[in-house]
Amino acid sequence: MNIEFGISKIDVTPQSPCRMGGYNRKGAWTDVLDPIEVNASAVCVDLVPFILIELDSIMVSKDFSLSVKNAVSSKTGIDSSNIVVACIHTHSAPCYFKLAYEDTLPETELTSDLTGLATEAAVSAWASRSKATVSMEMLGIEGLYGNRNVQGGPADKQVSIFSFEDAQGGRPIGKMLFMSAHPTILNGKSAVLSADLIGHVRQRLERKYGCPVLCVNGTCGDVSTRFYRQGEGVAELERTANELCAQIESKRERAALRVDTPRWGSISMKSVYDAKTDPDWIEMTNRIEAMDASPMRDFLLKRQQLKLSMGKIELELPSQFAVIGNCIFITMPCDTCSTLGLDFKRAFSQYNVFVIGYANTYCNYLVPQEDYGKYFETYNSRTPRGVADAFVARIIQAVGAAL
């Protein structure tokens, strides 16, 4: 089986202070803790090409993704349906895009520059590709992150690493790491630019292995370090990243990997939400109003009123997928809660399933029906009860038809 792989990295750290995306911060960043990057990988299997672009950002917009996809397609000849634009969901990068539930305005000049730089990274990855061999390693992370609503609740703690080496001499070309955890150890009090946990893991692995590493964040909608923290700020970030990398080094095991001619496709589903007529919005609002006075009560009521003010919310939920040998790759346009991601794994238990989160647009949280209305994720959702489950079911049906 002919495999080609290329990878590219561009440092896009702003040279002057700018607004930050996440936590609805009011001011600009005051320092840079670690570089803000665009990483891109190009994989060609049996002459079928795929490009993945990962931004250090809290989200990507539909318009941005389409612009980058079209530009990359025109420069490489690769169909835009085989190109994915995603992000790692750090809350400490520049504000490139407007979040639905936050007031912070995007830095439009930086976003414009990022369009060109993301395109450049993808084209460079494609141009640098060479014949490669690939292997896969997996492990389970313990004691560092998990379900943030219920300790011990559903969470995908699997970390998977694809290693690409030159087919001739065995030289490391690059790695792709898949994990699922909110990179939010730095909180809203922090004013330093950072790719947070995923960025710090990336840096450490690159130093160790001597090659670029592209990191993918998967189904982390309700997964964080909340129940596992021993401190806060930069010190806690360093501790967690060090321990996570130590577990990767000591626990990773080679996994069986089969590569054959890819099968791929995409689906899209419409969602319509209107708080004015939504029974869950009414029930949740009544419940909050009955709470004792507190800052959290005020925050949740404000969030509910903001939802109401949005009127009818119409969203398009897109997903791309590819089946390559015994691996299935699925994009999700949102914060994907753990149960939904685990549904994919249960549906395709004979395969290794990898979710690429925050891809091609951002639809906020998709919450499974069983958890809808219970936790914070629903207050930050723009879809009604049942839509998330229906969307996942449609993806499963489409992937199943391709097998």
Do the Cβ atoms of 41 and 174 come closer than 8 Å? Answer: yes
How many alpha carbons fall within 13 Å on the CB side of residue 282?
Answer: 5
pLDDT band at 334 (very low <50, low <70, confident <90, very high): very high
Residue with token string 């590569």: 259
Dihedral sign from CA coordinates of 197, 199, 203, 205: positive
The 10s digit of each residue's pLDDT in 12-23 is 999 999 999 999
Return the structure tokens found at 70.
């079209």
The 10s digit of each residue's pLDDT in 57-105 is 999 999 999 999 999 999 999 999 999 999 999 999 999 999 999 999 9
Q: Which helix (H) or strand (E) holds 391?
A: helix 387-402
Across the range 372-400, mean pLDDT stands at 98
Residue type (1 letter), 313? I
What's the pLDDT at 249? 98
Strand partners, 38: 10, 55
Q: Which helix (H) or strand (E) holds 342?
A: helix 338-347
Q: Work out the percent of the chain whose per-residue pLDDT is above 90.
A: 100
User: Would you call 294 exposed, middle or buried from its count of C-beta atoms within 10 A (0-12, 13-18, 19+)?
Assistant: exposed
The 10s digit of each residue's pLDDT in 167-206 is 998 999 999 999 999 999 999 999 999 999 999 999 999 9
Do the Cβ atoms of 179 and 200 come closer than 8 Å? Answer: no
Share the mean pLDDT of the chain: 98
What's the pLDDT at 1? 83
- The alpha-helical segments, DSSP class H, found in 157-310 are 196-209, 233-251, 279-289, 295-309
Do the Cβ atoms of 46 and 2 come closer than 8 Å? Answer: yes
Q: What pTM, to 2 d.p., does this model score?
A: 0.98
Which DSSP category does 50 fall into?
E
The rounded distance, in Å, linking the Cα atoms of 358 and 332 is 6
What's the pLDDT at 169? 85
pLDDT greater than 90 at residue 146: yes
CA distances, 259 to each of 97, 139, 253, 256, 361 (Å): 37, 20, 18, 10, 29
The rounded distance, in Å, linking the Cα atoms of 185 and 192 is 12
The rounded distance, in Å, linking the Cα atoms of 239 and 248 is 14
The rounded distance, in Å, linking the Cα atoms of 47 and 204 is 33
The 10s digit of each residue's pLDDT in 352-364 is 999 999 999 999 9
Across the range 387-393, mean pLDDT stands at 99
The 10s digit of each residue's pLDDT in 235-275 is 999 999 999 999 999 999 999 999 999 999 999 999 999 99
